[in-house]
Amino acid sequence: MAKRNLSFFFFLLLLILPVRAADEARSLNERCDMRIYGEHADTLLDGNLLSHSKLHYGTELTLSCSELIGGLYLEFSQHPGSWTLQCGEKTIECGGKGFLHEYISDLNAYSLTLHFHGEGILANVYALSPGEKPDWVQDWQESWDKADVLLLPTHSDDDTLFFGGIVPWCIDKGARVQVAYLISHDDEPFRRNELLNGLWVSGLRNYPVLGEYEDTGADEDMPIGRYAELGISYQEMLNRTVGLYRRFKPQVVICHDSNGEYGHGAHKLYWKLATDAVSSAGDSSVDSDSAIRYGVWIPPKLYVHLRQERGIVIDLDEPLRSFNYKTGYELSQKAFECHESQYSYFAWYFWGAPTADKLQQYSSREYGLYYSAVGDDTTGKSFFDNLTLYDAVVVEAKAESEAVPEERPVATEAPAEAAPAPEADNSRLLEIQNEQRSLRTAILGLTALVLLLILLLIRLKAKGRKDS
User: Check: CATH 2.60.120.260 for 29-128?
Assistant: yes
Reading phi first (left if > 0) and then psi (alpha if -120 to 50, else beta), residue 231 is in left
d(CA 195, CA 46): 19
Least Cα distance to 174 among 437, 372, 400, 383 occurs for 383
Q: Answer for the pair 121, 53: CB distance below 8 angstroms, yes or no.
A: yes
Question: SS3 for 4-18, per residue?
Answer: HHHHHHHHHHHHHHH
Which CATH architecture group holds 149-424?
A: 3-Layer(aba) Sandwich (3.40)
- The conformation of residue 407, written as its DSSP 8-state character, comes to P
Residue 242 phi, psi dihedral angles, 5° rounding? -60, -40
Which positions ≥6 away from 3 have C-beta within 8 Å? none
Residue 163 phi, psi dihedral angles, 5° rounding? -115, 15
d(CA 1, CA 465): 12
Residue 295 phi, psi dihedral angles, 5° rounding? 85, 165
Q: Answer for the pair 93, 61: CB distance below 8 angstroms, yes or no.
A: no
Reading phi first (left if > 0) and then psi (alpha if -120 to 50, else beta), residue 95 is in left
Mean pLDDT in consecutive groups of 10 residues from the start of the chain, 468 residues = 49 48 86 90 92 93 96 97 94 96 96 96 97 96 98 98 98 98 96 98 98 92 94 98 98 97 96 97 97 98 98 98 98 98 96 96 98 97 97 66 43 36 39 53 66 72 59
- The conformation of residue 209, written as its DSSP 8-state character, comes to B
Q: Give me the pLDDT at residue 393, please.
A: 74
Q: Give me the pLDDT at residue 459, please.
A: 72
d(CA 1, CA 348): 69
Q: Give me the pLDDT at residue 437, please.
A: 55
Domain boundaries, the chain: 29-128, 149-424
Rg over alpha carbons for the chain, rounded to the nearest Å, is 26
79-94 core/surface letters (b: 16 or more CB in 10 A; e: else): bbeebebbbeeeeeeb
pTM of the full structure = 0.81
Q: Give me the pLDDT at residue 401, please.
A: 46
Reading phi first (left if > 0) and then psi (alpha if -120 to 50, else beta), residue 266 is in alpha
Q: Answer for the pair 166, 328: CB distance below 8 angstroms, yes or no.
A: yes
